[in-house]
Amino acid sequence: MRNAALTLGVLGGTLGMLVGFFTYGYTEFIDWYGPVPNIAEQVENVHLIRLSALLAPLLAIAGGAMARSRAMAGGILMLVAAAVMFNGFGYSVFTMFPIALCLLGGLLALAARQPDAA
C-alpha cells in the first residue's frame, strides 16, 4: 500500500504540475496582453490560482515521497494537495486525474497497516 501511495502521489503531483504550468501561464498571458472579450478573460482570483499552481504539486510529490517512511504525514499531505487542486482549479477533464490520484494515494497511505517507524 505504501508503494502504491508513493507512486500515486508522485504521479498526481507531476500531472498537477502540468495543470499548474498552464494555469499560471494563462493568468500571466492575460496580465501581459489583456483580456480578449468572449474568448480569454482573466480569472476571478488570480492569486488563488497561482498559489494552487505552486503548492498543490509540491504537497503531492512531498506526500508521495514520504508515504513509505511516514505514511500518516504523507497521506495527509496528499489529501491536502487534492483539496488545494480542487479548490484552486476546480473539477474538469484536465484536473480529474491529478485530483483522483492524490486522493487515492492519500487514502492508501492512511490505510497502511504497519505503524510508522519511531
Q: What is the pLDDT of residue 116?
A: 63
pLDDT bucket at 38, cuts 50 / 70 / 90: confident
Residue 65, C-beta contacts closer than 8 angstroms, at least 6 positions apart: 6, 9, 10, 74
**For the chain, what percent of residues have pLDDT higher than 70?**
97
Q: What is the pLDDT of residue 37?
A: 87
Q: Which residue has the cell 507512486?
A: 7
CA angle 42, 44, 50 (to 5 degrees): 80
Q: What is the pLDDT of residue 105?
A: 97
Q: Is 70 helix (H, G, I), strand (E, B) or coil?
A: coil
Contact criterion met (CB below 8 Å) for 54 and 20:
yes
Q: What is the pLDDT of residue 90?
A: 94
Q: Does residue 36 register a pLDDT over 60?
A: yes
- How far, in Å, CA of 78 to CA of 70, rounded? 12
Q: What is the pLDDT of residues 39-70, one digit of tens each?
A: 899 999 999 999 999 999 999 999 999 999 99
Contacts 24+ apart (CB under 8 A), 89-95: 89/19, 89/23, 89/49, 89/52, 89/56, 94/19, 94/22, 95/19
